[in-house]
Amino acid sequence: MARKVIIAGNWKMNNTAPEGSALVEALKPLVAGIDAADIVVCPPFTTLNAVVETACNSNIKVGAQNLHWAESGAFTGEISAAMLKEAGATYVIIGHSERRQYFGETDATVNQRLRAALCSGLIPIVCVGETLEEREGERTDNVLSMQLSGGLAGITASEMADIIIAYEPIWAIGTGKTATPEMAEDTHCFIRGRLIEMFGADLAEKVRIQYGGSMKPENAAELLAQPNIDGGLIGGASLKAASFAALIKNAIG
Ligand code: PEP
């Protein structure tokens, strides 16, 4: 089944508003006319407005890197779905491994954030992935299974149709170590298998599963050639317009 490729850049805590605008300004002509892939950049909160304005009238969409589940209230330092929408974001990353590792994100809070995103019409990118220790201990399937059942608890099949999953082996993020295409495909197959069990085959076949972890222009084509790899969530290689554009072009072939 044909699933549209989606390539999203996670800028993490990089780029001020002028820097982010300059990056998108440089990216626009490099990806102009590409419609075989959804192209998304996810800047820090403070840079959203400027990037949305710069990306206006282009094929580049803008996402946030996190959201809080409440509509408003005493949650110092947090940002609501409505605030992201107001800034012009259309996507949101949820449960990135750095949030899980450094900020106490759990499958339960991923689930709460996911519900808030769906209620507001933001397109969620839900991240899952195992540590090196878990992979070496042959616990990858268990870990992913728990992340999927906890993170997606109570989600209906029609809601699942709007959700993107990003498989990011933690040992491959920012390390230069990429899962081999075969290893990544095996794990994507496992994830799709779990989605089939949870939501049925028709729906699961439509869900886009991105790979993330040291994806770059040089390895994008072979990763995306795998039947169950539908895109990429990109950190380092999304911080330069030329490398992000080259990666997108190689991904769609
Ligand atoms: C990420 O942070 O989601 C990521 C995949 O980073 P990198 O591409 O730098 O490994």
Question: What string of DSSP letters covers 25-53?
Answer: HHHHHHHTT--SEEEEEE--GGGHHHHHH
48, 53, 57, 61 alpha-carbon torsion, rounded to 10°: 0
Assess if residue 5 is contained within a domain: no
Nearest C-alpha to atom 1 of ligand 1 is from which residue?
235
Q: Name the amino acid, one letter, at 62.
A: V
Distance between CA atoms of residues 168 and 188, nearest Å: 10
Assess if residue 18 is contained within a domain: yes
Assess if residue 4 is contained within a domain: no
Assess if residue 1 is contained within a domain: no
Assess if residue 26 is contained within a domain: yes
Judge whether 168 counts as a catalytic residue.
Answer: yes
Output the ligand 1 site: residues, CB below 6 A.
10, 168, 173-174, 212-215, 233-237
Q: What is the pLDDT of residue 1?
A: 63
Q: What is the mean pLDDT of residues 41-65?
A: 98
Q: What is the pLDDT of residue 177?
A: 85
Please say if the pLDDT value at position 79 is more than 70.
Answer: yes
Task: Enter the pTM of the model.
Answer: 0.97
Distance between CA atoms of residues 120 and 122, nearest Å: 6
Assess if residue 92 is contained within a domain: yes
Judge whether 68 counts as a catalytic residue.
Answer: no
**Which CATH number belongs to the domain containing residue 170 in this structure?**
3.20.20.70
What distance in angstroms lies between residue 159's CA and the mean position of ligand 1's atoms? Answer: 26
- Domain holding 38, by residue range, is 10-252
Task: Answer whether 3's CB lies under 8 Å from 250's CB.
Answer: no
For the CA of 168, the closest atom of ligand 1 is 5
Nearest C-alpha to atom 2 of ligand 1 is from which residue?
235
Nearest C-alpha to atom 7 of ligand 1 is from which residue?
235
Q: Residue for token digits 């300004």?
A: 25
* 252: number of Cβ within 10 Å: 17
Number of domains into which the chain is organized: 1
